[in-house]
Structure 1
């Protein structure tokens, strides 16, 4: 039997199959699909003030509640949809976060209609290539960086909400704009090898 691979030392991950699978297969993998980048940004906004595992456990319910994060559908949500979402115990029920998600769908579509690709916009901040960090311990990984502040400001300028620098940095890590797997983690080099 294979020994347990060495992973980043996230609090609460060891022994949690869902959390370990997310770390091992998804977190830090460069994501270039505009819709998927937008979905992850919305979910990170819902995470504000909560642990990521809370969102991860509810992700399927979020996808069901938000029509698979289809921006066209979400942008068209009205009061009945807001009421439905606020009544859905499977998701995080916050008027402000639900409004932010609907608003962000409208911004996403407006950018697209202007010919501005969301993926190209996002990746432009890192020169279209993932930044490769070499952290050795969890406590070295920053909660935010000057670059995250810059991206946060750019998103806020476009009207996005729940996109503060800490949320944005968590999102940048998740979608592989930065490789913040620890150097001792078996995923560090694997993710590094995925850079275009």
Structure 2
């Protein structure tokens, strides 16, 4: 079976962690708003760090952020910010913690206007990477070009998560007709 070169060239002790994400999640569509929020928070927290660091901490992120329940995170107060900043199981960066809370609130507004975060994304699809970045910077906190690109690739809104020769690429195409519009 042929995989993306990043997976094929990875040392064995790292391969299992990355391969599980690569084979089951990366590039596949997400329809649940809380899971979309989760992916956005994880991508924001990856900035300046390795994706491996984030994958290793995903379960502690889920616990710290109430399983990425948008309504719960949007209601976080200062005590919650301090709790998160003291949690060694996540990335303790004030800007990233604040972005998670503010972005949950932004998603609540999108839900009111569009019915869901997923419908807001679908409403704006397709866009170029540059158009998406502009829209995200206007809508969310801590969303630069690389974060937006990785977030959108990871949920299937931009192509590039897998090389066309990767066996998983075929699975993504089967489950994600949006790629046919952008690939």
TM range (shorter): 0.7 to 0.9
Distance in 2 between the 1:156 and 1:38 partners?
16
Please report how far the alpha carbon of residue 94 of structure 1 lies from its aligned counterpart in structure 2 after TM superposition. Answer: 0.2
Matches within 5 A, 1:25-104: 25-104=24-103
**Structure 2 equivalent of residue 149 of structure 1:** 130
Going from structure 1 to structure 2, the CA distance change for 1:21 and 1:8 (only over 3 Å counts) comes to same
Query: Is the CA contact 2:110–2:120 (under 8 Å) kept in the aligned structure 1?
Result: no
Gaps of 5+ in 2: 178-183
Aligned partner (choices 171, 175, 182) of residue 190 of structure 1:
171
| Structure 1 length-normalised TM | 0.81
RMSD: 1.8
Is the partner of 2:128 in helix, strand or coil? helix
Q: Which has the higher helix share?
A: 2
Going from structure 1 to structure 2, the CA distance change for 1:115 and 1:26 (only over 3 Å counts) comes to closer
Please report how far the alpha carbon of residue 80 of structure 1 lies from its aligned counterpart in structure 2 after TM superposition. Answer: 1.1
| Structure 2 length-normalised TM | 0.87
1:114-169: CA deviations, max 9, x gaps? 34521122123334xxxxxxxxxxxxxxxxxx8222112112222x1121111111
Distance in 2 between the 1:76 and 1:35 partners?
14
Give the aligned length: 173
1:31-80: CA deviations, max 9, x gaps? 22222112211111111111111111111100000000001110111111
Please report how far the alpha carbon of residue 93 of structure 1 lies from its aligned counterpart in structure 2 after TM superposition. Answer: 0.4
Gaps of 5+ in 1: 128-145
